[in-house]
Structure 1
């Protein structure tokens, strides 16, 4: 269901996949498309003038034009590179913020993420010393190590 905040292209693509069997029936595709919309987008669909859309392609183009400002733009790698632990911030809060940002970045930057997370910690931080002394080779290892230090932090 399109809620006004998700990626437009992904939504149309998923709809097309679900409706592949009916893809030759333009009228059905257009009518069924509104059933994939939540309230705000459905109001837009219901408000289209009768006979103003001639094809499913035209409908998806109008949909894209109307909701383009709602489309989330992937964050740039720079957004991640500038993150570091804030004064007084817990490791848990910092890692949550870091991974939330990482998930918004398009592309595979695992090595950069590992290095950036480590350098975002103060040099005297136990986790940074651990990541420097015994380097990790994957995001999974990094997250496991972070979790270990978060548990220690929570126990204190």
Structure 2
């Protein structure tokens, strides 16, 4: 271990979430040492919770020769915890509920949009608009003047959320 090495505060991997996200978080937290393969391997178990640590302790001695191999084996073992991404057309079926606020709908929409991984900004604007009730002023505004990009869409949504808050 390097003399001034301090173990970063890792989020323990519980065996129930995405192994890819965990490895990404781990690499980010230890990025100052990512050129030190041995250190990356040696510290990795301290980022594991009980279930994953049992897996790690069960690895055959000298079966892993690099950090790349370690994370590959980790990913294979916990692959079933990976979330299958939803297709982009899932956004087409999202609708604002009859008693739902614009704030609530926008939050649900952006959460799903980010989960899908974003994508085409024009599709985002269209699918957001199609999920709004036909009599909503924001839908009319987005139809008459379609936003040119995501930032413009978000600004317009914020504007109408403020109007909605003022009416309540």
TM-score normalised according to structure 2 size: 0.75
Q: Structure 1: any 5+ residue segments left out of the alignment?
A: none
* 1:104-132 deviation digits (Å, cap 9, x = unpaired): 11352211010111111122110011112
Q: In the alignment, what sits opposite 1:101?
A: 112
Q: In the alignment, what sits opposite 2:134?
A: 123
Give the distance between the partners of 1:98 and 1:9, measured in 2 at CA: 22
Moved over 6 A (4+): none
Give the distance between the partners of 2:121 and 2:49, measured in 1 at CA: 35
C-alpha deviation, 1:97, in angstroms: 0.5
Give the distance between the partners of 2:19 and 2:165, measured in 1 at CA: 37
Q: Structure 2: any 5+ residue segments left out of the alignment?
A: 1-9
Give the distance between the partners of 1:93 and 1:13, measured in 2 at CA: 29
Q: In the alignment, what sits opposite 2:65?
A: 55
* 1:125-149 deviation digits (Å, cap 9, x = unpaired): 1001111222211111111111111
Is the 8 Å Cα contact of residues 15 and 33 (structure 1) preserved in structure 2?
no
Equivalences, count: 152
Alpha carbons of structure 1 residues 137 and 128: separation in structure 2 relative to 1, 3 Å:
same
TM-score normalised according to structure 1 size: 0.80
